[in-house]
């Protein structure tokens, strides 16, 4: 069943402008489901979760439970698709001040990320910060050869071995990587680490639904089965080839029509800080999938109402080359009723008795109205609430829309050849042996 409400009444398009693309969607749907399109070696994510066995899920859950019971701190090493999905879910569903809670109130180890940049300062502070802690590490790399996580892992492995010896470190390291290839696989096999496999036919940016995302999510205490159920219900709901009944395909069509009308920038907007990282994950998903052959919609983000006070001016009055996709929640996790103040020096008594979420909602409504008036098309996605089920459903919605959208755009949505350019130069500058 579909749990995404997708409203495109403010897309500033006539039905006639997207009707003609419906036939193309049927073709893109077929290419994806029958594995006949470009990049067809990488469409395993389409029904991956449907094929996950109970034993595989239990293995992930048991490993996570062991880490939850034993570790003070859990470090997720990975870059791009190898950390963005996990961080999105953990940020969205965990206590916003989780790492600062006293141990007795924390339901999971403190969680840190490493290997998603090459900052020596960050790494030095992290190593110093975790010195007294019982640390477990999940090193995640599909290729097993990415420089950023490899450097971070080398440093953390050395720190763990210095503290606990080889055997103690071995117990605290879990590697998520390719079944057979890559330096991380070789190392993990040699050292005897517990490993999880990233399937060959699932690319990094589509891998949050594999152990890449699932293990960290479970360590965070998120309900894995609910997350997977949300994904699986998405697999069913968004496999409907009829555009009129499939919001993922509607979204794919509309963004393509908007792009063809000169809207080269898509802004993913949220009104909840817990959802801010969703945009980072979404940016890689669409950016790496569609930015090809000098084409593609440039994906960016607004965390509102914060960014209305920095980028709001640009959206309202800047060049008319952007559209917004706003994600909102029908119900917030916690609400606060604003009270009257005897002095009312701040002039806020007109809000007395109102819920803070209603003020936030008015910010959303007012902004959408202003931006649409300013000729910025607005697409609106709403979820009934933010929990493991709905987040899994939403992430799969975006994945499915992205595959179809890329095909509509005429690119291979499953490769990322352009990412190699900086690496080649960096390796030359560093004198990496060829």
Ligand X SMILES: O=P(O)(O)OC[C@H]1O[C@](O)(CO)[C@@H](O)[C@@H]1O
Site size toward ligand X, by CB under 6 A? 14
Q: How far apart are the first and last CA of the chain?
A: 51
| 340 or 419: CB nearest ligand X | 419
Report in angstroms how near the CB of residue 416 gets to ligand X at its nearest.
5
Residue 288 annotated in active site:
yes
What's the rounded Cα separation, in Å, for the pair 164 and 103?
22
Decide: is 82 part of the binding site for ligand X (CB under 6 A): yes
67-98 burial by CB neighbour count: b if 16+ within 10 A, else e?
bbeebebbbbbbbbbbbbbbbbbbbbbbeeeb
- Residues 268-297 touching ligand X, rule: CB under 6 A, are 288
142 near ligand X (CB under 6 A): yes
In the list 43, 73, 79, 111, the residue contacting ligand X (rule: CB under 6 A) is 79
Entry field: residues in the chain: 434
Q: How many CA atoms lie within 13 A of 258 on its CB side?
A: 29
Edge-to-edge strand ranges of the sheet holding 378-383: 5-10, 378-383, 322-329, 265-270, 298-303
Minimum distance of ligand X from residue 212's CB (angstroms) = 8
Per CB under 6 A, the list member of 146, 270, 303, 357 interacting with ligand X is 146
- With CB under 6 A as the contact rule, the residue among 158, 180, 419, 426 that binds ligand X is 419
The one catalytic residue among 50, 423, 424, 432? 423
Question: CB–CB of 386/274 below 8 Å?
Answer: yes
Candidate ranges 52-60, 139-147, 270-278, 298-306; the one touching ligand X (CB under 6 A): 139-147
Q: Which is nearer to ligand X, 142 or 172 (CB)?
A: 142
43 DSSP 8-state letter? B
List 266, 288, 290, 324, catalytic entry: 288
230/387 Cα distance (integer angstroms): 10
Would you call 5 helix, strand, or coil by DSSP?
strand
Q: How far is the CB of 246 from ligand X (least distance, A)?
A: 27
Total Cβ atoms within 10 A of residue 8: 20
Smallest distance, ligand X to C-beta of residue 115, A: 8
Residue spans of alpha helices (H) in 37-100:
48-51, 54-70, 84-93
Our finding on whether 80 is near ligand X (CB under 6 A) is yes
- Report CA torsion sign: 358, 361, 367, 369: negative
Interface with ligand X includes 149 (CB under 6 A)? yes
Q: Three-state DSSP class for 372?
A: helix
Q: Does residue 324 touch ligand X according to CB under 6 A?
A: no
What phi, psi does 378 have (nearest 5°)?
-120, 125
Kindly tell me which of 82 and 232 has the beta carbon lying closer to ligand X: 82
User: Exactly one of 81, 213, 216, 406 binds ligand X (CB under 6 A); which one?
Assistant: 81
Which three-class secondary structure state does DSSP give residue 174? strand
If the CB atoms of residues 81 and 247 are measured against ligand X, the closer one turns out to be 81
Beta pairing class for 265-270 and 378-383: unpaired
User: Among 137-145, 244-252, 354-362, 407-415, which window interacts with ligand X (CB under 6 A)?
Assistant: 137-145
Asked if 147 touches ligand X (CB under 6 A), the answer is no
Closest CA to 64 of 214, 199, 168: 214
Q: Least separation, in Å, of the C-beta of 142 and ligand X? A: 4
Q: Measured from the CB of residue 224, what is the shortest distance to ligand X in angstroms?
A: 21
177 vs 246, beta carbon nearer ligand X = 177
Query: Minimum distance from CB of 122 to ligand X (Å)?
Result: 18
Residue span 302-321 as binding mask against ligand X, x where in contact by CB under 6 A, dash where not: --------------------
- Provide the minimum distance between the beta carbon of 422 and ligand X in the complex, in angstroms, as a whole number: 9
Q: Decide: is 205 part of the binding site for ligand X (CB under 6 A).
A: yes
Question: By the 8 A CB rule, do 387 and 93 touch?
Answer: yes
CB 299 → ligand X: shortest distance, Å? 15
For ligand X, give the closer residue by CB, 146 or 357. 146
Q: Which of residues 355-414 bind ligand X (CB under 6 A)?
A: none
Q: Is 385 a catalytic residue?
A: no
Indicate the residue among 288 and 324 with the shorter CB distance to ligand X.
288
Give CA–CA dist 289/233, Å, rounded: 24
Residue 433 CB contacts under 8 Å (≥ 6 apart), including other chains = none
- H-helix or E-strand spanning residue 428: helix 420-430
Asked if residue 216 binds ligand X (CB under 6 A), the reply is: no
d(CA 373, CA 368): 8
Distance CA 153, CA 76 (A): 10
Tell which one of 85, 204, 213, 247 touches ligand X (CB under 6 A): 204
User: What residues are annotated to the active site?
Assistant: 288, 423
Contacting positions for ligand X (CB under 6 A): 79-82, 141-143, 146, 149, 204-205, 288, 416, 419
């Amino acid at each position: 069943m579909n749990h995404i409400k997708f409203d495109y009444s403010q897309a500033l398009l006539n039905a006639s402008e997207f009707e003609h693309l419906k036939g193309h969607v049927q073709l893109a749907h077929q290419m994806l489901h029958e594995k006949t399109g470009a990049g067809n070696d990488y469409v395993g994510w389409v029904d991956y979760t449907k094929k996950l066995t109970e034993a595989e899920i239990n293995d992930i859950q048991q490993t996570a439970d062991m880490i939850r019971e034993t570790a003070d701190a859990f470090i997720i090493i990975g870059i791009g698709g190898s950390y963005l999905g996990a961080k999105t879910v953990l940020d969205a569903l965990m206590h916003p001040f989780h790492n600062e809670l006293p141990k007795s109130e924390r339901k999971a180890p403190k969680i840190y990320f490493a290997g998603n940049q090459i900052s020596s300062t960050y790494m030095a502070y992290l190593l110093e910060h975790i010195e007294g802690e019982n640390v477990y590490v999940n090193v995640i790399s599909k290729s097993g050869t990415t420089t950023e996580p490899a450097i971070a892992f080398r440093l953390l492995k050395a720190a763990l071995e210095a503290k606990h010896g080889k055997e103690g470190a071995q117990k605290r390291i879990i590697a998520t990587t390719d079944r057979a290839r890559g330096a991380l696989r070789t190392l993990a096999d040699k050292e005897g680490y517990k490993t999880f496999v990233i399937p060959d036919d699932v690319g990094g940016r589509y891998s949050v639904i594999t152990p890449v995302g699932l293990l960290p999510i479970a360590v965070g205490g998120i309900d894995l089965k609910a997350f997977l159920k949300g994904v699986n219900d998405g697999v069913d709901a968004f496999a409907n080839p009829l555009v009129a009944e499939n919001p993922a395909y509607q979204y794919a069509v509309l963004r393509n029509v908007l792009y063809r009308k000169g809207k080269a920038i898509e802004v993913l907007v949220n009104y909840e800080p817990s959802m801010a990282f969703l945009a980072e994950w979404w940016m890689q998903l669409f950016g790496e999938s569609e930015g090809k052959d000098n084409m593609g919609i440039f994906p960016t983000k607004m965390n509102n109402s914060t960014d209305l006070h920095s980028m709001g001016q640009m959206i309202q009055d800047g060049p008319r080359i952007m559209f917004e996709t706003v994600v909102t929640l029908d119900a917030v996790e916690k609400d606060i009723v604003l009270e009257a103040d005897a002095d009312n020096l701040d002039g806020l008594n007109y809000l007395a008795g109102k819920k803070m979420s209603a003020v936030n909602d008015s910010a959303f409504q007012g902004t959408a109205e202003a931006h649409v008036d300013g000729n910025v098309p607005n697409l609106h996605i709403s979820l009934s609430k933010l929990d493991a089920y709905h987040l899994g459903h939403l992430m799969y919605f975006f994945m499915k829309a992205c595959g179809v959208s890329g095909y509509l755009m005429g690119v291979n949505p499953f490769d990322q050849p352009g990412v190699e350019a900086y690496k080649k130069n960096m390796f030359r500058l560093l004198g990496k042996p060829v």
